[in-house]
């Protein structure tokens, strides 16, 4: 199948050729003709599959047929984060360069006035995060009655971030006669309900089973004993041993982002930090710097985990094991994009056993254990008894990982040399909540996975409360609050402000 056979116009086809694409990806082959027919779509696809072009390309052709009036945009794309919205806007510019269409990017952290001016001129497409879109609407600057195409992208992420009530509200503000395209990596029941309510006879397309890690990513996990300092030492050793030229390094907390980024800089690496508490201009500038090669390492919170498209990123490092298994999938998906190979390394602590098990269960396979020269001979192959015995439905036991090529560890280049890390004694690796035989010794309730606990606590029709949504107050926050005292994880960081 070629792009020409999909029914796109010459103007769009030229832009696609200029972008260097010759063959449409499976989601593009399936979605483009249906969008051009005007039908609703539920698309089950991960980022990295060419999903964005699958809706942007046909939208450009549909929108090329008319013109927008002042304050009455003709199409709307909702994205869960500012970074994703910016990326989609860049795609619009790239693929729409031969068409005269106006776009408005409505995201938090940027001036309302500038966004108002673009809306006033007439926008063919609005690319927005839900909160900022509603803010514009409530200020009376936006008329949504002319929207003909409505895209809900990354619906599962919208759900995670508590945006589904806002999405429902926005759907209700749009004309009933419209085309709706919904994309999600997984079609969860809440998303299905949204689709049932707001879509008309949608065509369902699916290109990859949900939560399958990109096969092109070579994964490895090493268990680090010791304190935070030992972990930072392990990070530097890993980077040097693998001669890494660039990577996104994911931390679970904003505080860790700052510490790790400063530590890397101190040790002579060019690094930048990115997390949700930074101002929007600072976030944009950091991303720009990293994308243009001005920093080798981007130390980031999960604000950078979804959908970010950085061409040729060779590696991802999980400085912390993500506490939600789906975040692991999204993090490692930043590398090995568009047919390239990539590596994903994880630095685990002995306490991370549950989280690692949850990730492996979700992937249906184990993450190979690797040893890193210079970190001591930690017996990674002697992983938890639970893994050795195998679990029903869990990953099969992994054979001992081949030792990495014994690259010479390089001397530290620190401005101030750190005190030597205490030598790590070889020891069998067992996670804290296991007994000598590797059995899980926690009470039954604690053994339930996070989703089980969420389901227990929040029956199907109740959204769990979400905190910290910045300047916008979504409608669901005004509902009575359910206290989540039994859930001990940190709430996931909220990117949208």
**Interatomic CA distance for residues 341 and 338, integer angstroms:** 9
For ligand AMP (CB under 6 A), the number of binding residues is 16
Residues 89, 496, 137: CA angle, nearest 5 degrees = 70
Written as six digits, the tokens of 62 are: 């549909």
**Shorter beta-carbon distance to ligand AMP: residue 94 or 484:** 94
- Using CB under 6 A as the binding rule, whether residue 47 contacts ligand AMP is answered as yes
**Residue of 12, 24, 286, 295 that binds ligand AMP (CB under 6 A):** 24
CA-closest candidate to residue 450, choices 45, 81, 160: 160
**Are 6 and 29 in contact, with CB atoms under 8 Å apart?**
yes
- Using CB under 6 A as the binding rule, whether residue 53 contacts ligand AMP is answered as yes
* Pairing relationship of beta strands 342-348 and 315-318 according to DSSP bridges: parallel
**Shorter beta-carbon distance to ligand AMP: residue 50 or 96:** 50
Nearest distance, CB of residue 40 and ligand AMP, angstroms: 20
- Using CB under 6 A as the binding rule, whether residue 48 contacts ligand AMP is answered as yes
- Using CB under 6 A as the binding rule, whether residue 208 contacts ligand AMP is answered as no
- Using CB under 6 A as the binding rule, whether residue 494 contacts ligand AMP is answered as no
**Shorter beta-carbon distance to ligand AMP: residue 132 or 337:** 337
Neighbours of 480 (CB within 10 A): 6
Nearest distance, CB of residue 330 and ligand AMP, angstroms: 12
Nearest distance, CB of residue 81 and ligand AMP, angstroms: 13
User: Of the listed pieces 43-51, 129-137, 275-283, 345-353, which binds ligand AMP according to CB under 6 A?
Assistant: 43-51
- Using CB under 6 A as the binding rule, whether residue 25 contacts ligand AMP is answered as yes
**Interatomic CA distance for residues 36 and 72, integer angstroms:** 22
Which parts of 82-121 interact with ligand AMP (CB under 6 A)?
none
- Using CB under 6 A as the binding rule, whether residue 337 contacts ligand AMP is answered as yes
**Shorter beta-carbon distance to ligand AMP: residue 22 or 176:** 22
CA-closest candidate to residue 149, choices 76, 95, 52, 73: 76
**Shorter beta-carbon distance to ligand AMP: residue 23 or 407:** 23
**Interatomic CA distance for residues 204 and 27, integer angstroms:** 11
* Pairing relationship of beta strands 75-78 and 149-152 according to DSSP bridges: parallel
Tally the residues of the chain: 497
The rounded Cα 320 to chain-centroid distance in angstroms is 16
Nearest distance, CB of residue 339 and ligand AMP, angstroms: 7
**Residue of 29, 49, 384, 421 that binds ligand AMP (CB under 6 A):** 49
Which parts of 260-279 interact with ligand AMP (CB under 6 A)?
none
Nearest distance, CB of residue 220 and ligand AMP, angstroms: 24
Nearest distance, CB of residue 274 and ligand AMP, angstroms: 18
- Using CB under 6 A as the binding rule, whether residue 43 contacts ligand AMP is answered as no
**Shorter beta-carbon distance to ligand AMP: residue 81 or 383:** 81
Give Cβ neighbours of residue 343 (< 8 Å, ≥ 6 apart).
Answer: 217, 218, 219, 220, 242, 314, 315, 316, 335
DSSP 8-class letter at 176: S
**Are 149 and 181 in contact, with CB atoms under 8 Å apart?**
yes
User: Of the listed pieces 23-31, 397-405, 407-415, 416-424, which binds ligand AMP according to CB under 6 A?
Assistant: 23-31
**Shorter beta-carbon distance to ligand AMP: residue 310 or 424:** 310
**Shorter beta-carbon distance to ligand AMP: residue 13 or 379:** 13
- Using CB under 6 A as the binding rule, whether residue 309 contacts ligand AMP is answered as yes
User: Of the listed pieces 45-53, 135-143, 242-250, 367-375, which binds ligand AMP according to CB under 6 A?
Assistant: 45-53
**Shorter beta-carbon distance to ligand AMP: residue 257 or 332:** 332
**Interatomic CA distance for residues 333 and 222, integer angstroms:** 19
**Residue of 8, 40, 43, 52 that binds ligand AMP (CB under 6 A):** 52
**Residue of 21, 112, 137, 458 that binds ligand AMP (CB under 6 A):** 21
CA-closest candidate to residue 51, choices 307, 325, 313: 307
User: Of the listed pieces 21-29, 159-167, 296-304, 404-412, which binds ligand AMP according to CB under 6 A?
Assistant: 21-29
Nearest distance, CB of residue 3 and ligand AMP, angstroms: 8
Nearest distance, CB of residue 29 and ligand AMP, angstroms: 9
Tell me the DSSP string of 224-260: --S-HHHHHHHHHHHHHHTT-S-EEEE-SSHHHHHHH
**Interatomic CA distance for residues 237 and 488, integer angstroms:** 32
Q: 251 exposed, middle or buried (CB, 10 Å; 0-12, 13-18, 19+)? A: buried
* Pairing relationship of beta strands 179-184 and 203-206 according to DSSP bridges: unpaired
Strand-by-strand arrangement of the 271-274 sheet: 217-223, 342-348, 315-318, 247-250, 297-300, 271-274
**Are 403 and 414 in contact, with CB atoms under 8 Å apart?**
no
CA-closest candidate to residue 150, choices 127, 119, 116: 127
**Shorter beta-carbon distance to ligand AMP: residue 327 or 440:** 327
Residues in contact with ligand AMP by the rule CB under 6 A = 21, 23-25, 28, 47-53, 307, 309, 337-338
């Amino acid at each position: 199948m070629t792009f020409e056979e999909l029914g796109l116009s010459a103007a769009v086809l030229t832009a696609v050729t200029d972008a260097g694409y010759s063959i449409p990806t499976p989601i593009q082959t399936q979605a483009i003709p249906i969008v051009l027919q005007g039908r609703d779509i539920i698309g089950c696809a991960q980022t990295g599959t060419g999903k964005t072009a699958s809706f942007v390309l046909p939208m450009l052709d549909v929108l090329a047929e008319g013109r927008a009036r002042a304050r009455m945009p003709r199409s709307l794309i909702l994205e869960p984060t500012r970074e994703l919205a910016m990326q989609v806007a860049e795609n619009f510019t790239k693929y729409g360069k031969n068409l005269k269409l106006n776009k408005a990017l409505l995201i938090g952290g940027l001036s309302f006035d500038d966004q108002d001016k673009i809306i006033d001129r007439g926008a063919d497409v609005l690319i927005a995060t839900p909160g900022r879109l509603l803010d514009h609407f409530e200020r009376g600057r936006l008329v949504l009655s002319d929207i003909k195409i409505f895209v809900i992208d990354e619906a599962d992420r919208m759900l995670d971030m508590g945006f589904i009530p806002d999405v429902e509200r926005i759907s209700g503000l749009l004309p009933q006669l419209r085309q709706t395209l919904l994309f999600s990596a997984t079609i969860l029941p809440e998303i299905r309900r949204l689709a049932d309510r707001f879509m008309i006879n949608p065509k369902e397309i699916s290109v990859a089973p949900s939560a399958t890690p990109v096969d092109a990513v070579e994964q490895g996990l090493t268990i680090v004993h010791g304190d935070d300092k030992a972990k930072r030492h392990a990070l530097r050793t890993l980077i040097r041993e693998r001669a890494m030229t660039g990577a996104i390094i994911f931390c679970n907390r904003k505080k860790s982002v700052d510490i790790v980024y400063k530590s890397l800089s101190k040790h002579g690496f060019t690094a930048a930090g990115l997390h949700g508490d930074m101002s929007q201009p600072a976030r944009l500038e950091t991303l720009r710097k990293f994308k243009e090669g001005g920093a080798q390492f981007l130390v980031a919170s999960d604000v950078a985990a979804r959908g970010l498209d950085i061409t040729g990123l060779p590696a991802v490092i999980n400085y912390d094991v993500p506490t939600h298994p789906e975040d692991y999938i999204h993090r490692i998906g930043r590398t090995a994009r568009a047919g390239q190979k990539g590596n994903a390394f994880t630095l685990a602590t002995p306490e991370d056993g549950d989280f690692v098990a949850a990730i492996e269960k979700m992937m249906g396979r184990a993450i190979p254990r690797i040893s890193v020269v210079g970190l001591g001979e930690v017996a990674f192959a002697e992983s938890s008894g639970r893994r050795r015995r195998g679990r029903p439905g869990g990953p099969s036991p992994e054979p001992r990982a081949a030792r990495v090529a014994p690259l010479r560890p390089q001397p530290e280049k620190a401005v101030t040399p750190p005190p030597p890390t205490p030598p790590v004694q070889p020891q069998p690796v067992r996670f804290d909540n296991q007994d000598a035989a590797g059995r899980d010794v926690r009470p039954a309730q604690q053994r339930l996975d996070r989703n089980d606990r969420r389901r227990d606590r929040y029956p199907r029709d109740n959204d769990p409360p979400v905190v910290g949504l910045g300047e916008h107050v979504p409608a669901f926050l005004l509902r009575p609050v359910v206290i989540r005292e039994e859930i001990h994880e940190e709430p996931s960081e909220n990117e949208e402000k």
